[in-house]
Structure 1
Amino acid sequence: MTSLLFPTDFSTHTTAALDWVRLFAKQTGATITLLHVYQPVVPDTTLPTVGDPGLGTLTALELEDIGRQQLVDLETKLIAEGYSVKAEWRIGAIEDEILETARVLQSDLIVMGRSDLSTFFDRLAGSAVSDVAEGATCPVLIIPMTDDSQAVRPAEVRTIAYAMQPKTSQSDVAQQTDWLIDMFGATLVVLTEDKLEHNNADLVVMQLYPAGGFLDSLLHPNKVSALVEKSDVPLLIYHQPK
């Protein structure tokens, strides 16, 4: 692993995942790419203006400046801690820009924090996490957050649980977990669907298969796929090779 992508909006539920970014970067020596996707605020032309530009435009420019400075500050902080770090600034749709950046950089891993989706903005971020998990070609590590935006589990890997599915082979399990076991000296347990809830692992690993049609998903819900939005344990997602 040489390239680790960490998308952040500088909110507490993304910065709390930083400890997991640090953990994987330290263990692998990978370069961390910090990515902030800026979504421009459309100026409200109904607001009073003072000369040109209007107040709405000034607010948008101020938000952009703040975001750029936060990105520089985070990059500087991690470099001071001894990590290899780069920063990327993009403008556009969050999930699209994350996926495109991962493709261009040939990222080996994407790390994202996931909140409990309690507010509109949390749901927006949560939707981006799900979209990235489904659309990425590299593994995606999702870190669930508590209500007060802290990581549910400390950044350590002693026990790894593999979420087994009917399509998964033993060679899949070995390929996706052997390097983690060697790197962390961890113990592996294999879980069937009926054992997924209330497991005590530090990390769950799964493979995400292409979703079936609506009727198929309704009649045959996949509990493993549901982990993307519901797992209370950090989740490492692999994708079926295309």
Structure 2
Amino acid sequence: MKNILVPTDFTGTSERALAWAKFLAKHYSQDGQETLLTLAHVTQPYIPDSTLPTGEVGIGMMAVQEMEDVGELNLQEIADQLEREGFKTRIESRVGSIDSEIVDVADELKPDLIVMGRSHIDSFFDWLAGSSAADVAMTAHCPVLVVPTPDPSRNYPVQLQNIAYATQLEFDENHILRPVVQLARTFQSNLRLVKIQALNQPNVRDDRQYLTQIQAEFGQQRFVEDTVDADNVIEGLTKYTQTHQVDLLVMATRERDFLSKLLNPSLTKRMVLNSDVPVLVYHAEENY
């Protein structure tokens, strides 16, 4: 892993994401390669109000420029601290929509991974609107690790002892599993394949068909296979991560058209918004 993109808004949520980025970069740097941490901050543009006097509009524009300058100073301070800790860094400051600017930076710099914090979703309207982290996870062209703000009543150490991979065993997933298996090998993690058996989920193909295919490439000893009965996938995965000490949940998402997204919101996005543990999102190549 040569380049990790870490968007930040300088809050505790971003600090948690940075801790994960440092954890990963330190480990991969030990393998003989230097991992670059690219810190990015997006200042949202000023939207002028046509009812305001021209002078007040100018003041608003100046305020945005000042916020951008402050953002660059804060980025540089974090970068300097990381350099003192032995990390190689780069900073990117942008103005615009948070999620689209982050995706643009990722398209330009081609990072191996984006690590991004996600604040609490406290209401239905927060969930409906989504979050920048969830939007980036669904649209970026590279894997995205979304790190939620931890519950202060629970201990969530930054570690990779137990990885859970959510699967429905309804399509060929070996191309997605390859980097997940490599991640588990690199960190010597326990890897579990987790299928949620829910009434509202399709169960068309025989699970054994794909389990045999997975075992043929990766070996049966590599996985623990768990099937969980639940009313729905989100409930099942949430209970599973809470009862099995999961450090990281891995999910895949696929391209869908606008109508599909509107009528059937992605399970991956919903889990990103609801999970208490970090969620690593991979993008499958095929459409459905």
Same fold (TM over 0.5): yes
SS at match of 1:138: coil
Alignment partner of 1:205 is 2:250: yes
Q: Which residue of 2 aligns with 1:82?
A: 86
Q: Cα–Cα, structure 1 residues 60 and 156, in superposed 2: closer, same or farther, change >3 Å?
A: same
Q: In structure 2, give the amino acid aligned to 1:41.
A: Y
Q: Cα–Cα, structure 1 residues 214 and 143, in superposed 2: closer, same or farther, change >3 Å?
A: same
Q: In structure 2, give the amino acid aligned to 1:33.
A: T
Q: In structure 2, give the amino acid aligned to 1:17.
A: A
Alpha-carbon offset, residue 11 of structure 1: 2.1
Alignment partner of 1:64 is 2:60: no
SS at match of 1:90: strand
Q: In structure 1, give the amino acid aligned to 2:278.
A: P
Cα distance in 2 for partners of 1:129, 1:216 equals 17
Are the counterparts in 2 of residues 116 and 147 from structure 1 also a CA contact under 8 Å? no
Alignment partner of 1:128 is 2:139: no
Q: How does 1:92-131 map to 2 (within 5 A)?
A: 92-118=96-122, 126-131=130-135
Cα distance in 1 for partners of 2:247, 2:94 equals 33
More helix by share: 2
SS at match of 2:70: helix
Q: Cα–Cα, structure 1 residues 64 and 135, in superposed 2: closer, same or farther, change >3 Å?
A: same
Mean Cα deviation higher: 6-15 or 133-142: 6-15
Alignment partner of 1:34 is 2:42: no
Cα distance in 1 for partners of 2:164, 2:273 equals 17
Larger of the two Rg values belongs to structure: 2
Q: Which residue of 2 aligns with 1:183?
A: 186
Are the counterparts in 1 of residues 76 and 91 from structure 2 also a CA contact under 8 Å? yes
Alpha-carbon offset, residue 210 of structure 1: 2.4
Q: Which residue of 1 aligns with 2:10?
A: 10
Q: Percent identity?
A: 36
Q: In structure 1, give the amino acid aligned to 2:8.
A: T
Alpha-carbon offset, residue 100 of structure 1: 1.2
Q: What is the number of equivalent residue pairs in this alignment?
A: 238
Alignment partner of 1:156 is 2:200: no
SS at match of 1:33: strand
* Offset from partner CA, 1:89-115 (integer Å, 9 cap, x none): 112211111111111111110001111
Cα distance in 1 for partners of 2:129, 2:81 equals 24
Alpha-carbon offset, residue 135 of structure 1: 0.8
Are the counterparts in 2 of residues 139 and 237 from structure 1 also a CA contact under 8 Å? yes
Q: Cα–Cα, structure 1 residues 100 and 167, in superposed 2: closer, same or farther, change >3 Å?
A: farther
SS at match of 1:17: helix
Are the counterparts in 2 of residues 34 and 75 from structure 1 also a CA contact under 8 Å? yes
- Normalised by the length of structure 2, the TM-score is 0.71
- Normalised by the length of structure 1, the TM-score is 0.84
* Offset from partner CA, 1:108-133 (integer Å, 9 cap, x none): 100011111238xx779952112211
Cα distance in 1 for partners of 2:130, 2:279 equals 14
Are the counterparts in 2 of residues 162 and 189 from structure 1 also a CA contact under 8 Å? yes
Structure 1: segments with no counterpart, 5+ residues: none
Q: Cα–Cα, structure 1 residues 151 and 89, in superposed 2: closer, same or farther, change >3 Å?
A: farther
Are the counterparts in 2 of residues 137 and 239 from structure 1 also a CA contact under 8 Å? yes
Are the counterparts in 2 of residues 162 and 206 from structure 1 also a CA contact under 8 Å? yes
Q: CA RMSD in A?
A: 3.3
